[in-house]
Amino acid sequence: MGHYKKILAGLFIVGLLTIPAFSTDDGFFEGLEWASAQANDELPAPDSYNLIIPQKVGGGTSVWATIVAKELEKYTDAPVKLVHLPSARDIGGFNDFHNELQSDPSNIMVSHGGNGISFLQENVDYNYGDYSSIGLMNLNIIVGKLKTLEQFPSAVSFSAGSGMTPEAYAMTMLMCPPENNVHGYVACFENKVTWVKGMSGGERRLAFRRGELTATRENPAAYLKHVAGNDDAEVWFHHGVMSEEGHVDDPNYLTCECQFEDMYEEKWGQKPSGDFYNAYVLLKSFRDGLQKALWVAKDNPYRDRLVEAMNQVATNPESVQAIEAKVGKYDWFTGDWGDSHRDQLMTLITKDTLN
């Protein structure tokens, strides 16, 4: 209950919010005229801006941050450096930012979806409501499988890891009939899914290439880098991207017709519903809606400068093209609109959903 009260302290917005976004379709801000606040010109630039990444070099968030940092640095008044702080389930680095590192205004936290899952399920120190957004990308997770694995298989081998709970829920609902209650789904998962613990990201990718795992998952940038070129692999399913109407199909994967809800309806002849599905929606929304986000302390004096730089990343055609080539076509929420996106997600957290 204490963890629930801590989360409630962050719910300072009630009711759902309308979220405008930078659309990569036209490079303009949808729904609003925007103007960046004037930065404090008298404040000297730091020696560098430090992106705090809570995992090892080569992890999915590290791959994404490397791509974004290269573009962000074109518009900042100081170099952008990557600082990796790996720990169990990627929690320690975010806790360090919350407890100590955010007091240095040159530090920027790069959080990922696994941090969002941990925020819901564990007693972590960090709290999204305590920070200001520089920008976040409204992303998706892509689940790949070996081509020899059926679209609706009877068994799967999959690597456990930070933030992978929504994949466990989704594959369970694709393999186990809808008459199951929560306990029935859990028993079916244990019977059909070999959930391999203890693998690093590199070990997971190697095991999938060798065929030791029959399915894997990555964020879009890491999927393009590590899975898309594998002739023995194909997309199994994905979770869709958040919109005002809920989750919609990912524009980068329309041809596969493999958004989870569509596949569920194809398999079982009905739309997903029930407690198990509702838990899945909460987990995937919080993970993917905050899957890749940049945060600073609320009183950070560089925030306006950084938001202006991120606006350039989101709208400059060269930067948009560079990021889309390695990540895909996904919308940015920058500055106050990133905060609004966060606030909408916080409204999903209630005592009932946490139970």
- Listing from the earlier edge strand, what are the strands of the sheet with 107-112? 80-84, 49-53, 107-112, 292-297, 131-137, 332-334
Residues 144-177 have pLDDT tens digits of 999 999 999 999 999 998 789 999 999 999 999 9
Confidence at residue 169, expressed as pLDDT on a 0 to 100 scale: 97
Mean pLDDT of the region 102-124: 95
Q: Report d(CA 156, CA 215) in Å as an integer.
A: 7
Return the H-helix or E-strand segment holding 306: helix 303-315
- Locate 320 and state its tokens: 């948009």
Q: In this prediction, what percent of the chain has a pLDDT beyond 70?
A: 86
pLDDT higher than threshold 50 for residue 90: yes
pLDDT higher than threshold 70 for residue 255: yes
pLDDT higher than threshold 90 for residue 28: no
Residues 218-254 have pLDDT tens digits of 989 899 999 999 999 999 999 999 876 677 899 999 8
Q: Poorest-confidence range of 22-31, 34-43, 97-106, 326-335?
A: 22-31
Higher pLDDT, 263 or 14: 263
| Residue owning tokens 């430090």 | 50
Mean pLDDT of the region 181-208: 96
Query: What domains are defined for the chain?
Result: 2-138+291-354 (3.40.190.150), 142-285 (3.40.190.10)
Secondary structure class of 136 (helix, strand, coil): strand
Q: Report d(CA 150, CA 215) in Å as an integer.
A: 11
Return the H-helix or E-strand segment holding 111: strand 107-112
Q: Are 305 and 39 contacting, i.e. CB atoms less than 8 angstroms apart?
A: yes
Q: Report d(CA 278, CA 90) in Å as an integer.
A: 25
Confidence at residue 355, expressed as pLDDT on a 0 to 100 scale: 62
Which among 186, 265, 256 is positioned nearest to 223, based on CA atoms?
256
Mean pLDDT of the region 16-33: 39
Q: How many CA atoms lie within 13 A of 158 on its CB side?
A: 29
Q: Report d(CA 77, CA 98) in Å as an integer.
A: 25
pLDDT band at 18 (very low <50, low <70, confident <90, very high): very low
Confidence at residue 2, expressed as pLDDT on a 0 to 100 scale: 46
pLDDT higher than threshold 70 for residue 76: yes
Confidence at residue 39, expressed as pLDDT on a 0 to 100 scale: 41
pLDDT higher than threshold 60 for residue 124: yes
Confidence at residue 247, expressed as pLDDT on a 0 to 100 scale: 76
Could you tell me where the beta strands, DSSP code E, fall in 28-98?
Answer: 49-53, 80-84
Residues 273-295 have pLDDT tens digits of 999 999 999 899 888 888 899 99
Secondary structure class of 41 (helix, strand, coil): coil
Q: How many CA atoms lie within 13 A of 187 on its CB side?
A: 6
Residues 40-75 have pLDDT tens digits of 567 999 999 999 999 999 988 999 999 999 999 999
pLDDT band at 352 (very low <50, low <70, confident <90, very high): low
Residues 80-89 have pLDDT tens digits of 999 999 999 9
Q: Report d(CA 345, CA 291) in Å as an integer.
A: 12
Mean pLDDT of the region 96-101: 99
Q: Report d(CA 115, CA 281) in Å as an integer.
A: 16
Confidence at residue 248, expressed as pLDDT on a 0 to 100 scale: 84
Return the H-helix or E-strand segment holding 233: strand 233-238
Q: Report d(CA 339, CA 109) in Å as an integer.
A: 14
Confidence at residue 243, expressed as pLDDT on a 0 to 100 scale: 76
Q: How many CA atoms lie within 13 A of 220 on its CB side?
A: 25
